[in-house]
Each structure stands twice: as C-alpha cells, then as structure tokens.
Amino acid sequence: AIELDPGDAWLFAGRADTYRAMQRYDDALADYSRAIELDPGNPFTFAARGLSYQAMQRYDDALADYSHAIELDPNHVWAFVFRADTYRGMQRYDEALADCTRAIELDPKMDGGFSVRGNTYRLMGRYQEALADLTRAIELNPAFAWAISTRARMHRAMGHYDEALSDLDQAVELEPDNDGFLAEQAMTRGVEHRGVDAFQWVVDIQATAQDSASSARTITDWLISAGIVDAERTPCVPGK
C-alpha cells in the first residue's frame, strides 16, 4: 500500500505500529519519523514514536516526543500517561505523579492513569495510596491483569499473602501463559509458607526475552519482601 501511496502518513504510522508490536523498534522509528515528516501536526504519531523510544530505554527521546504530542494536543490523555510512565522509569516520581493526576483530571475513567500512579506510589513506599489507585484501576477495568498483579505485589510487600494470592490467581486466569504472573504466584506461595518451592521455580524458570524483565523484577521483589536482600543495597531492579 505504501508503494501505491508513499505520501500517506497513516500508512507509515500503521506499519510502524506493527513493527513496534514485533519489537522491531529501529524499523518502527524509521516509519514513525517518515510519518511525522509527512504530517508534523499529528500528536498521535509523536506519542506512538515515544513508546518505541521508551521500550528502547531512550527515555530523553521518549519524553521529548510525549511533550511535543502534549504541545500539539494539551488534552492528549495517553501522552500524559506515557510520559508519566517514562518519568517513573527514570525515578522522577513527583513528575510521574503530576502527569498521572493530569490524565485523571482529563478523564476520570482513565484506568491507565490510576495504574501508573499506583505503581509510582508503590515504588515510593506510599502503599496505601498505591492500593487505592490500583484498586480504582481494576474497578474501571476488571480484566486489567497488569494492575491486578501489581496490586498483588503491594499486598505481598505489606504481608497480606492471602490477598496477594487471590489477585495473582485472577491475573493468571486472565493471562495463563504469562510467565511473570506464574512466577509471582509461585514466589508468593514460597514467601507465605517459607518453603522451597519458589527457590526451585527460580532454578527452573525459562523466561522468554519479552518476559525476562518482568520475571527479573518479580524475583527481585520477592527476595526483598522475603528479607533475603536489602532494598537499599539493590538500587538497580530489572524491569522496573
């Protein structure tokens, strides 16, 4: 289709979306950039290119694209959420909270805004606020497996193992092939019973490249919550 109409920005953006879903980020960036050349006033393309930069951990480039999308459309709710999540990844938590709050002001039913803000509160150790936001995200979207699993991590950190397992059972039911959720489930049972099953799961784990960051984050969270490692001496947590 692009060969037939090489001046259509949406065709390049659509192909870029496909490349991004395939984790072919360099190809995605090339197509998004071409789409932006053809239609520099489209905020959605800037936000989409920002997602590729974010996935590549090119956070400054991602921030620039999200900020430009917001300049083009100050009511672009998802650009605020994406920028907030980038700030979170950079540990710029106050800025992440501000962007999430703005997204929620623009759309009070924005489950993504509540989930990212809840995760940010979690990383800041503000557990009650995290639980409130994650619960609200799940109320808005009961099939939001990521928010459910993140709330489970909160429950586990607070020693609420029954609640954590209930959430993880639900997350696994929604996404039965998600290795990260299965790891969370096994490790939470290991923490609850102080058994060795979770240790054996770590030995046996065979995560895909896509799930490796999530699994690494899960393992690290569990080691911290079990008191095996010191969070203050673990500054770099994969997948966070």
Q: pLDDT tens-digit profile of 32-90?
A: 999 999 999 999 999 999 999 999 999 999 999 999 999 999 999 999 999 999 999 99
Global pTM? Answer: 0.77
Q: Is the pLDDT of residue 6 over 80?
A: no
The dihedral sign for the CA sequence 109, 115, 116, 120? positive
- Return the structure tokens found at 40: 């520099």
Average pLDDT of span 117-121: 97
- Tens-place pLDDT, residues 133-168: 999 999 999 999 999 999 999 998 888 999 999 999
| DSSP structure string for 110-165 | -HHHHHHHHHHHHHTT-HHHHHHHHHHHHHH-TT-HHHHHHHHHHHHHTT-HHHHH
Question: In this structure, are residues 154 and 138 in contact, taking their beta carbons and an 8 Å threshold?
Answer: no
